[in-house]
Structures are given as C-alpha cells and as structure tokens.
Amino acid sequence: MNLTEQQLRAAGKAGAAAAMERWAQLEAEQRKAEHDKRLRNIKTLLSNYHKFKAMAENAVYSAEQADELVDILLLMYDPTNKADAIVESIKRSALRTNLIVAHVDAMIASYRNIVYNSCGEVAKRRFETMYDRYIAEPMLTVDELMGKYAVEQRTVYDDLDTAVDNLASIMFGVDCILLK
C-alpha cells in the first residue's frame, strides 16, 4: 500500500491534532487533581484546626524565638547525637505548625472581611457555616448547623464545600484559581 504525499501529510496532521488534544486533556486532569489535593489539604487543616492551634499555643518554640534558637542549636549541634536530630525535628514541626495556624487565622479573617464587606446573605451563611463547623469553640455538628441556619443537610454540605473552595482561593491565591 503506497500513500501519497498528501495522504501522509493528512495523517501527520491528524496524529498531531490527536496528540495535542490528549496532551490538553492530561494537563486539565493534572490541574484538577492538584486543585482537589489542595481542597483536601484545606479540609484536613480545618478538621484538625483545634489540634494545630493547641500545639502552636503550647509549643516551646515560637516564631519570634526561631532565629535565637537556631543560633543556640547550631552552637550545641553534634551530628552524631540523635537527640539533636529529634530536638531539631520538634523545633521545625512547632515552627511550621505555628506558621500554618497563623496563616489559616489570617486567611479566615480575610475571608470574613470579604464576605461581610461585599457579599450577600448566602455568602455570609456559607462562611459562618464553615466557621461554626471547623473554627468556633465548640464546633457545631451538621445537625446543629441545620438547626442554627434553618437549612437542609444537603445545604450544609454544599455551604461547607463552597466555603472551603473560597477559602482555598484566598489561601493559595492565583495558584488555586489557575488550577481550576
């Protein structure tokens, strides 16, 4: 079977077009997977917010102490001593948790300001539902949220999903928007 030059070009163009289409599809799937991962991370952060907050508040190391502690630990550091590695790991964990909690607190405050300064009642309810479910003390159950806001269970879950998505956009900025 002999193909003409025109048939070869047509086949090449069709193959290239199919490859580009598949590449675009894979790229879209990758963006969605990254967005879904960030949303799961936000939900995990919010679900464990009180534990992280307690750790940050009770940690021996604070962000303000970090530079001074690093200098002291460098003077005392012995690479053969496993206890030094454990102390360093605890310090890093405490500082990272402190930073994450401070960022979450700041972004929740930003979200609250956006909602209360420029949005309608539904957006406010969504924010408050998320806040009451994850941040407030005591945290409210879905049933309690249904009663407080006089909505159905599906609405509570929809509000939580929307609020978490909005918080993700605020927390991750343009990166989150580009991943959608």
* Structure confidence by residue, pLDDT tens digits, 82-132: 655 666 676 677 777 788 888 889 999 999 999 999 889 999 999 999 999
pTM of the entire structure? 0.62
Domain that holds residue 60: 49-118
Last residue of a domain, one of 118, 136, 160: 118
What is the rounded distance in angstroms from the CA atom of residue 30 to the CA atom of residue 28? 5
| 153/108 same-domain check | no
* Range from 8-12, 22-26, 43-47, 174-178 carrying the lowest mean pLDDT: 174-178
| 128/170 same-domain check | yes
What is the rounded distance in angstroms from the CA atom of residue 66 to the CA atom of residue 38? 28
What is the rounded distance in angstroms from the CA atom of residue 104 to the CA atom of residue 80? 37
| 84/130 same-domain check | no
Domain tally, the chain: 2
How confident is the model at residue 12, as a pLDDT? 80
Whether 111 is in a domain gets the answer: yes
**Minimal CA–CA distance to 55: which of 92, 89, 87, 101?**
101
Last residue of a domain, one of 64, 85, 118: 118
